[in-house]
């Protein structure tokens, strides 16, 4: 007979793996970097609600070795009193009035009723820089809708530029056209650059954006554009900050899209590529710089781009115009997405080993590289090899050469060796 045990027997069971009890702490807020609100458009809201918008191209100004001021051509264009413009204005007025009646509102756009008289009235052009009217800067309204300094002269003299009181860097330009009770206003910027700072030229469609068509639509329609090559903001931003490089945005878009192009470059933002995995990443923007578009209207720009397929003619002329203001070869590097861009850069004197071609896959090559020079392509703007090569190109030709001769027409003929 067994003696009773003090404690009842306990069945021994092999322990099953059990899940660890995790005590969930109170979640803490992670400071993710929210994209900052986009800055206001470079032109700003027009304080006069009755003012209609004209169009203007940014201007590059530089002080030469002689102390004189020189600049690139001014491009200012307003609406013309053509039959097409009048019919479009009447159609818009009729449509707007119809929608106002449907909504039970009273439309009171009385300024459009005297459209014919206003367009035929004598025109007065007034230019102001940094909010100050420049009395000695006389602009004339031409028959084609453009403005000139008399006798179709598109550049002011050095004395006229001195009257503007330009500051180093960006200056606000405002041009007003008064015709009767009608007021048209065009906004642009004048950039006064130092002659010793390197200058890079960059195309917009396909070079900043990933594709031509989709990038163009995204840059014009979207409030927060996103169709851009990865790392493009950080790449050009670092070169502008570290190497004091000035960026010229050159596009064959018509002058009517100058404001939208400036707004696109000002609002484009990307996360800093090197810290892409960090939730507290910083956001970068494109460096500020002049936007030079074609002075042609929409029809002329489309004909040059799609029919004639010669956008390099305009770009070559625009770059040579800047060289003439510098009296030297101003550009040290150029980025484009078409061979026509590269041809224009080469004609403007940019060294062939500093001309870069980018495709929709963000692969960057040097199209004019010498046959004996072999190098792998660059894998996008984030490739550190590309940044080192471009930085070396910006500092390689520090002293700017003087012009060798002058053309009979007064232009400047410049030459530079294309050897590496």
pLDDT-derived band at 331 (thresholds 50, 70, 90) equals very high
- Per-residue pLDDT, averaged over 87-112, amounts to 52
Q: Which of 193, 194, 198 is nearest to 397 (CA)?
A: 198
pLDDT at 118: 58
pLDDT-derived band at 358 (thresholds 50, 70, 90) equals very high
For 409, other C-beta atoms within 10 Å of its C-beta total 5
Instruction: Give 194-420's CATH code, choosing from 3.40.50.80, 3.40.50.1010, 3.40.50.1000, 3.40.190.10.
Output: 3.40.50.1000
pLDDT at 380: 92
pLDDT at 265: 93
- Quote the CATH superfamily of domain 53-89+110-193: Immunoglobulins (2.60.40.10)
Position 43 pLDDT exceeds 80:
no
244-267: pLDDT as tens digits:
889 999 998 888 889 999 999 999
- Write out the two tokens for 199: 């200058």
- Per-residue pLDDT, averaged over 74-80, amounts to 85
In angstroms, how far is the first alpha carbon of the chain from the final one? 108
Query: Do the beta carbons of residue 256 and residue 293 sit within 8 Å?
Result: no
Instruction: State the chain's mean pLDDT as an integer.
Output: 76
Least confident of 91-100, 208-217, 296-305, 383-392: 91-100
**Could you write out the DSSP letters of every residue in 242-282?**
HS--EEEEE----GGGHHHHHHHHHH-EEE-GGGTT-TT--
> What share of the chain has pLDDT > 70, as a percent?
65
Residues 6+ apart with CB under 8 A from 337: 203, 205, 206, 207, 212, 357, 358, 359
pLDDT-derived band at 51 (thresholds 50, 70, 90) equals low
Position 155 pLDDT exceeds 70:
yes
Continuous segment of H or E residues that includes residue 60: strand 59-63
The domain limits of the chain are 53-89+110-193, 194-420
Global confidence as pTM: 0.76
Position 7 pLDDT exceeds 70:
no
287-309: pLDDT as tens digits:
999 999 988 766 666 656 666 66
Position 137 pLDDT exceeds 70:
yes
Main-chain dihedrals φ then ψ at residue 248, nearest 5 degrees: -110, 120
- Residue 72 or 300, more confident: 72
pLDDT at 266: 92
- Per-residue pLDDT, averaged over 162-171, amounts to 94
- Per-residue pLDDT, averaged over 382-410, amounts to 67
- Residue 276 or 294, more confident: 294
Main-chain dihedrals φ then ψ at residue 330, nearest 5 degrees: -85, -25
- Residue 74 or 100, more confident: 74
For 263, other C-beta atoms within 10 Å of its C-beta total 22
pLDDT-derived band at 222 (thresholds 50, 70, 90) equals confident
d(CA 274, CA 284): 11
Least confident of 3-17, 255-269, 353-367: 3-17
Least confident of 180-184, 390-394, 416-420: 416-420
pLDDT-derived band at 22 (thresholds 50, 70, 90) equals very low
């Amino acid at each position: 007979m067994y003696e009773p045990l003090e404690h009842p027997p306990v069945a021994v069971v092999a322990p099953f793996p059990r899940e660890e009890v995790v005590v969930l702490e109170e979640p803490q807020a992670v400071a993710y970097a929210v994209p900052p609100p986009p800055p206001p458009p470079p032109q700003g809201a027009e304080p006069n609600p009755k003012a209609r918008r004209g169009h203007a191209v940014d201007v590059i100004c530089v002080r030469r070795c002689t102390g004189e001021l020189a600049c690139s051509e001014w491009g200012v264009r307003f609406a013309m009193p053509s039959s097409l413009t009048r019919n479009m204005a009447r159609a818009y007025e009729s449509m707007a009035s119809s929608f106002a009646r449907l909504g039970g509102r009273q439309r009171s756009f009385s300024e459009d009723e005297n459209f014919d008289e206003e367009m035929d009235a004598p025109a007065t052009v007034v230019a102001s820089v940094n909010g100050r009217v420049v009395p000695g800067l006389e602009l004339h309204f031409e028959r084609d809708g453009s403005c000139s300094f008399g006798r179709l002269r598109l550049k002011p003299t050095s004395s006229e530029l001195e009257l503007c009181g330009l500051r180093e860097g960006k200056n606000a330009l405002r041009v007003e056209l008064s015709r009767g009770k009608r007021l048209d206003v065009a906004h642009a910027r004048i950039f006064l650059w130092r002659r010793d700072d390197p200058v890079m030229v960059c195309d917009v469609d396909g070079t900043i954006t990933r594709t031509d068509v989709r990038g163009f639509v995204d840059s014009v329609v979207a409030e927060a554009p996103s169709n851009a090559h990865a790392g493009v903001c950080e790449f050009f931003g670092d070169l502008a900050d570290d190497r004091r490089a000035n960026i010229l945005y050159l596009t064959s878009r018509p002058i009517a899209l100058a404001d939208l192009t400036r707004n696109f470059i000002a609002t484009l933002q990307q996360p800093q590529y090197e810290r892409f995995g960090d939730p507290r990443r910083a956001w970068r923007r494109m460096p500020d710089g002049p936007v030079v578009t074609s002075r042609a209207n929409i029809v002329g720009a489309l004909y040059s781009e799609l029919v004639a397929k010669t956008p390099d003619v305009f770009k070559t002329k625009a770059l040579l115009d800047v060289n003439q203001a510098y009296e030297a070869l101003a550009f040290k590097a150029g980025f484009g997405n078409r061979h026509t861009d590269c041809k224009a850069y080469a004609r403007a004197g940019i060294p062939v080993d500093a001309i870069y071609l980018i495709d929709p896959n963000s692969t960057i090559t040097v199209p004019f590289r010498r046959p004996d020079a072999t190098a792998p392509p660059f894998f996008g703007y984030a490739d550190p090899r590309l940044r080192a090569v471009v930085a070396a190109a910006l500092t390689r030709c520090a002293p700017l050469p003087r012009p060798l001769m002058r053309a009979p027409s007064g232009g400047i003929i410049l030459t530079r060796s294309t050897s590496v």
